[in-house]
A and B are shown apart, each in its own frame.
Chain A
Amino acid sequence: MADLRTNFAGISSPNPFWLASAPPTDKAYNVRRAFEAGWGGVVWKTLGEDPPVVNVSSRYGSLNYNGNRMMGLNNIELISDRPLAVNIAEIKQVKRDYPDRAVVVSLMVPCVEDSWKSILPIVEETGADGIELNFGCPHGMSERNMGAAVGQVPEYVEMVTRWCKQYTRMPVIVKLTPNITNILMPAYAAKRGGADAVSLINTIQSVIGVDLDQMAPMPVVGGKGTHGGYCGPAVKPIALRMIGEIARDPELAGLPISGIGGIGSWRDAAEFLAMGSTTLQVCTAAMHYGFRIVEDMIDGLSSWMDQKGYADIPSVSGQAIPKFVNWNKLNLKFKTIAEINQDACVSCGLCHIACEDTSHQAISKTLMNGERHYDVIEEECVGCNLCAHVCPVDGCITMQPQPVEEELTWPEHPNNPHRMHVGS
């Protein structure tokens, strides 16, 4: 059995699966249920200063796709709307009752040193394992100069991180907003400020859809809508990219990453680990199906690690990073060609029309003994994979890598006007 225990910036947990700071971690009741279900840790829903914020009614919008619910979810909920003292008391008790689990407290107070200085001891007193700075919330709180409004200004990120390191002994995790053009800037700032780790991504600014009857963005609150924070399976590719950027950056080497963004299965988890995460935070999948989903995540990840011979989480973490390169490093001599398994083909024609209309006219359509027949025209195929993606039959169209004779990247390519002349 693979060892799933994690040590993340000094915070230990029996497995890498944490619940992200969000509605599922708003109260002791939920958190206890999560721990009973097997979650390795939680990041308690963001605490702020009293008096607590007020949340609206109607908070979530869902993006459904072809019958699948909640491919993407957006929310307009703010931070915890319960009094600070209530949260603090519950955190203290929960940590006492579940000493082996990670209990991290998410925080968001105004960008004023005294505000941070006064809340940190209160949190520390609970026995919590660490704090996560919510520099990501992209709606509501950012209008009050908190959340993403801080995360989008590297100087502020550095400043607040430094205050936190100064006023608490707890490990400090800086949660990064994706609503920024270069994720490295706030990550550098967090590191300069002394952050023990980063977590990403927070939600993406979004309008999930428009109610065409009310003519208002969804979710509609009393006839009006606002932008929200987007999460769920749809954001996974964005998260993987940003995590990878940080993981491969030499200046940020060694900075632990807690991966967040659409993780719903053990496979997603493995991918986030491979791209450099060491713990994983989940929210939408739990909100969709309940806490029980962690069972298959733990079980599936463990089985996969056993099959692949990965003994523990550190041995998986970052495995794909050496192969995550800039486009410039890709071999332009590599070629792959589509191959259709005629026995599996159901003759739906989707590969043909996709290639014919939108790609390279490399799949022919003929009648063979009166039946539709689709063939790859190898000379025309550029190996784009589109046909394999549109094919509804698993394994019917596969991409066949061709023998590679040499390596040629863009910097050396004759078509590149700025090419590097070998030997010159």
Chain B
Amino acid sequence: MRLPDTISGRLSEAELAANFADAHPPLTHAQAVVEAERCFFCYDAPCIEACPTSIDIPKFIRAIATDNMQGSARTILESNILGGACARVCPTEILCEQKCVHNTREEGQPIRIGALQRHATDWQMEHGGQPFKRNVLTGKTVAVVGAGPAGLACAHRLAMYGHDVVLFDSHDLAGGLNEYGVAAYKLADNFAQREIDFLMEIGGISFVGGKRLGQNLHISELRSDYDAVFLAVGQAGVRALGIDGEHVDGVMDAVRFIEDLRSQDKKTVPVGRRVVVIGGGNTAVDAAVQARRLGAEEVSLIYRRGYEHMSATPVEREWAQTNGVTVKIWASPVKIVADNGALQGVEFARGIVGSDGRPQYDLTDTFVVPADMVLKAVGQLFVPDDVQEESITISNGRILVDDQYRTSLPGVYAGGDCTPGEDLTVAAVRDGRDAAEAIHLMLSGLSGQ
């Protein structure tokens, strides 16, 4: 029997600092101007349509080219107050940059929209501060539950309209996935908190941590204490593998591993010598790459279907591969292999596309990947229990909202990952912003009564 080799502190502090530094260093101003000048300034540009928050991309890029940095940043931030985080975490290769018309030219490289957006928002945070001012105060107060991208965007927009906002979150820090759920090198140098400080500069938003819906925070109370409620509680649950041995020591959720990395000193976070990551999304990639960068020798990312089915983009997949992660496909976990409770590895069954187009796995054709640590990244779930004390309608496992982000409960709105739609930071920002617009309309109507 081999005991799992999982320890912390595999690398020196200097190595850890280098490994978790900014993965994609910022453009210099000169580089940004050269890149901005490449933009065709398309009319009715396809990149705008591809952005869930509909940032006027040609406009902000042109402003960089003309050295109107304040105007550039404002153009971004008025559509997306978390433009700095989105510039860093958005899968631009499947959003704005995918639609850049330069792609259709021979040898065409899309404009580096994400990098330019970062350049402009960094400038604003460094030189300009909060560009928006609050309207005349309305005396209305809104409870926003969940301080992730959706909650933050909603809070900012409501504060801008003159409403006061109390922002609740179960964590001690605001930020949601930006603070706890994204690879550290994507939002390096404490960016999530710096951006929240920047956002909060508008005033009128107070943050209350350690509040969990259904436990020490109740919708019924919020409804009576506040003029409106916005739920942006995200997805607190994770899917289980549903196989034998899932609860053996050393098998953990990838989101937990990522959160530990973000909230603890990296030299105290244990990592296996050999790590198996099960899943094919960005969480799987973030976990796998960070395991490597924490000092794991062998990291395999194993997905049950093909590359084309992965929700991680090809760019993310290649990022994992260039970081020394071995990517295996068409392998479904059958059981966790343990010896007297000591994790040994994961047994996988090989699969193919069946005649009906669905994957088929041959349980007689299996192989074992040895592992000291197994990270499960097979999907996150909204946990309805948190809101079920009220009769809020749940549909397909998420909170049902109408086109005004209204839940079935009057005065209660919802958005972000706890509602249907793509699970992207930028989509959550749009939800929060647009829900704030709807709440503002509703509150404006009330104030007229």
Binding site for B on A (CB under 8 A): 66-67, 346-350, 352-353, 365, 372, 392-393
Contact A352 B43, beta carbon cutoff 8 Å = yes
Residue from the list B34, B40, B42 in contact with A67, Cβ < 8 A: B34
Contact B37 A347, beta carbon cutoff 8 Å = no
Where chain A touches its partner, the secondary structure class is loop
Residue from the list B33, B41, B102 in contact with A346, Cβ < 8 A: B102
CB-defined A-B contacts under 8 Å, sample of 22? A66-B37, A66-B65, A67-B34, A67-B37, A346-B40, A346-B101, A346-B104, A347-B42, A347-B46, A347-B101, A348-B40, A348-B45, A348-B101, A349-B42, A349-B44, A349-B45, A350-B42, A350-B43, A353-B43, A365-B44, A372-B44, A392-B40
Contact A372 B46, beta carbon cutoff 8 Å = yes
Contacts of B101 in A (CB 8 A): 346-348
Contacts of A393 in B (CB 8 A): 105
A154 shortest CB reach to chain B, Å: 44
Contacts of B34 in A (CB 8 A): 67
Residue of A nearest to B108 (CB): A346
Contacts of A66 in B (CB 8 A): 37, 65
Contact A67 B33, beta carbon cutoff 8 Å = yes
Contact B46 A350, beta carbon cutoff 8 Å = no
Contacts of B37 in A (CB 8 A): 66-67
Residue of A nearest to B36 (CB): A67
Residue of A nearest to B102 (CB): A346
Contact B43 A349, beta carbon cutoff 8 Å = yes
Binding site for A on B (CB under 8 A): 33-34, 37, 40-46, 65, 101-102, 104-105
Contacts of B46 in A (CB 8 A): 347, 372
A167 shortest CB reach to chain B, Å: 54
Contact A346 B105, beta carbon cutoff 8 Å = yes
Residue of A nearest to B38 (CB): A67
Given that A66-B65, A393-B105 are known contacts, is A348 also in contact with B43, CB under 8 Å in the complex?
A: yes
Bound: A199/B34 CA distance, A = 38
Bound: A80/B65 CA distance, A = 39
A353 shortest CB reach to chain B, Å: 4
Bound: A66/B34 CA distance, A = 8
Contacts of B65 in A (CB 8 A): 66
Bound: A66/B67 CA distance, A = 12
Contacts of A353 in B (CB 8 A): 43-44
Residue of A nearest to B101 (CB): A346
**Residue of A349, A353, A393 ringed by the most chain B CB atoms within 10 A:** A349
Contacts of B45 in A (CB 8 A): 348-349
Contacts of A352 in B (CB 8 A): 43
Residue of A nearest to B37 (CB): A67
Contacts of B33 in A (CB 8 A): 67
Bound: A392/B65 CA distance, A = 17
Bound: A113/B336 CA distance, A = 106
Bound: A171/B349 CA distance, A = 94
B67 shortest CB reach to chain A, Å: 11
B36 shortest CB reach to chain A, Å: 9
B198 shortest CB reach to chain A, Å: 28
B392 shortest CB reach to chain A, Å: 36
B294 shortest CB reach to chain A, Å: 42
Bound: A349/B45 CA distance, A = 8
Bound: A67/B66 CA distance, A = 11
A341 shortest CB reach to chain B, Å: 13
Contact B105 A348, beta carbon cutoff 8 Å = no
Residue of B nearest to A348 (CB): B42
Bound: A168/B102 CA distance, A = 62
Bound: A393/B102 CA distance, A = 10
Residue of A nearest to B49 (CB): A372
Contacts of A347 in B (CB 8 A): 42, 46, 101, 104
Bound: A103/B93 CA distance, A = 60
